[in-house]
Amino acid sequence: MASGGVTMQAKAALDETRRAVGDTGQSLPITRRRFLLAAAAAVPGWPCALAAARPEEWVAPELLDLLIETEREALLEALVTRITAGLTYPELLGALAEAAARQVRPYPHVGFKYHAFMVLHAVDRTTRHGPSEEAWLPILWAADTFKGAQAQEQSRGGWVLPDASRARTASRIGRSVRQHPERALHQALDQWDAEAADDALLILLQQRAPEQVLEGLWRYGARDFRAIGHKAITVANCARLLPTVSRARAEPMLRSLVLALQNHRGEPNPATTALAADAPWRNNQERIKRLERPTTPDAEATDANSAALSHDLLAVLREGSADDASAALAAALARGVPKTRLWTVVFAAAGELMLREPGILAVHANTTSDALFLGAKRAADSDTRTLLLLQAASFLPLFRDLIGGDGDAPQLSRLEPASPVAGVAADSAEALEAVFAALSASRREAVPKALGYLEAGGCEQAFMRRARHYTVERNQGAHDYKFTEAAFRNAAAMPEHWRRRYLAASVLYMNGPDDSEDPAVTNARLLLADAGARR
C-alpha cells in the first residue's frame, strides 16, 4: 500500500478533482433558435481552422487583451468576429496559452482551474486530427474554459504572473546566477525555491531557446506524486505547444510551468525533509546509479514473441509496492529488455486500472504515463530517460492503492470480444457506432464490443475519429480531452495485441451520442453558423 503521506496528499487532490470535474460554469443561454442552428453538422463555406496552421510567428497584444479582459458571456462572439476577419488558429492557440499562464496560478493544486493551461496540447491534437467542420470548436471551447478558470482565480483573490522585468534588472541577483543561469535554475528547483527559480529562468531564456530550457525540466515533472501526475502532464503540455507558439509566448508558459513544478502545498521544504511523496524519486535515482546493462542481453528478454515476461511484470504492478514495481523494471533493463517492451507494460497496467475503476484516478494513471513516455522519448540524457520509466512504474501502484478494490480486477489479457450489434458485420461503420451508443446503457458492456470491432479488423483510425467527435460534442470537462488523446498516443506505442485491448478498455472514459451536449460547443457552432451565413 501507499504510505500515509502520499495517500493524504493524493487523496486531497482527488477530493477536489471530484468536486471540480464536470463543472463547465456558465455560458450563453440556449434558445430554440440557437439549438436549431447548432444542430447543423457543418458550416457551409467556412474556412478550415488549420488552413493557415503554420507556427505562430508574431504576437498580437490586442488578442491577449481580448482574451483576458472580455467577459465570458461575450468572448466567443468576439473571437468568431476575429476569425471572420482573418484570425488564424495558431495565433489563437498561442494567445490562449499565454493568457492561461498569466492568469491562472497552479496553486493551491496543480490541476482543477489550471487545466485551462494543461489541456491545450490535447485540444490542439484533437483539432489537428479531427474533421475540418469541427476544427474551430475545440479551441473556442478552450477559450470558454479559460474564462471559467480565470473567474475561479479571481474569486480567490485574484492572481497574475509577476512582472518579468524585475529579474532582468534586480541588483539582488548575483553574478553566479547571471553567468550560470541553467545551473542556478536547477539548484533553485532542487531547493524548491520558487522565486530564485523564476529569476534564473528569466535570465536563462535570454541565452537559450525555450526548447533547450525545457530539456532540463523533464526530471522535475517526474519528481513527486503530490499532484497525481499533473506536474509531468504540465511539462508535456509545454513541450507539445512550444513548437506552435512564438518565443515571446513561450516565456510566460515556461514560468508558469516552473512555478507548478515547485508546488508542495504547505508541507515542509522537501529539500530538507524526507517526505513520502518523494520516496520513489530518491529510490530510483539510487537504483539508476547501480544499474548495469549486459553486453549480451538475455535471449528471452528480447524475444518479441515471449509474453511470459510481460505478464510477470504486470503482476508486480498489479500487486507490488511502488518500490517493487521500479525494481522489477530495473531488473528487466539489466537483463537487456528493450525499453519499448517495458513501456508497453506500463501502458497495459494503466489500462487495467481503467478496467478496475474507470474514474479520475485511472484517467491520471494513463495521462501521466503518456506524459512521462514523451519525456523518455525526448530527453537527451540517458539517465533521465531511464528515470522517467522507473518513476512511471512507481506511480502506478500508488494510483492503484488510491483506487482501492480487490486483486480480482479484470485484466487486459482476459478480455473477450463480443459482437457490437447482432446481424451486422463486426467491422462495419454501423458496428462502430453501436460501440459508442452502448456507453449510455453500460460502459462495461461497451468494452467487449469495442474489442469485437477491433479484433474483427475494424478501422482503428475510424474508431479514433468517432471518439474525438464525441469528445468535442459531448465532453464533460478537460479530462475528456486529456484522456482521449493520451490513450491514443499510448496505444500507438504498443504491439497490436495489446493495442486493441488497451483501446477497448479506453472507451470506459469516452463519450457517446447520449451524453449531454457541451453548452459552450453548441454556442460556438451557432456563432460560426451565423457568421458563415453572413459571409
Cis peptide before 108 (omega within 30 of 0): yes
Task: Give the mean pLDDT per block of 10 residues along the chain (535 residues).
Answer: 42 47 40 40 49 65 95 98 93 97 96 97 96 93 98 95 71 72 96 94 94 96 96 98 93 98 94 95 96 69 63 94 97 93 97 96 98 97 96 98 81 94 92 95 94 96 97 96 98 96 98 95 95 82
Output the pLDDT for position 533: 84
Output the pLDDT for position 166: 62
Q: Cβ neighbours of residue 169 under 8 Å, at least 6 residues apart? A: none
d(CA 319, CA 315): 6
Q: At what angle do helices 120-129 and 230-241 cross, to 10 degrees?
A: 50
Q: CA nearest 198: which of 237, 224, 172?
A: 172
- The 3-state DSSP class for residue 200 equals helix
Which grid cell is 345? 507494460
d(CA 28, CA 31): 9
d(CA 514, CA 223): 40
Which grid cell is 104? 491562472
Contact 261, 223 (CB under 8 A): yes
Query: DSSP H helical segments within 404-518, as ranges?
Result: 429-437, 443-455, 460-474, 478-492, 496-506
Output the pLDDT for position 178: 76
pTM here is 0.89
Output the pLDDT for position 132: 87
H or E stretch covering 510: none
d(CA 261, CA 275): 16
- The 3-state DSSP class for residue 152 equals helix
Which grid cell is 42? 457543418
Output the pLDDT for position 133: 87
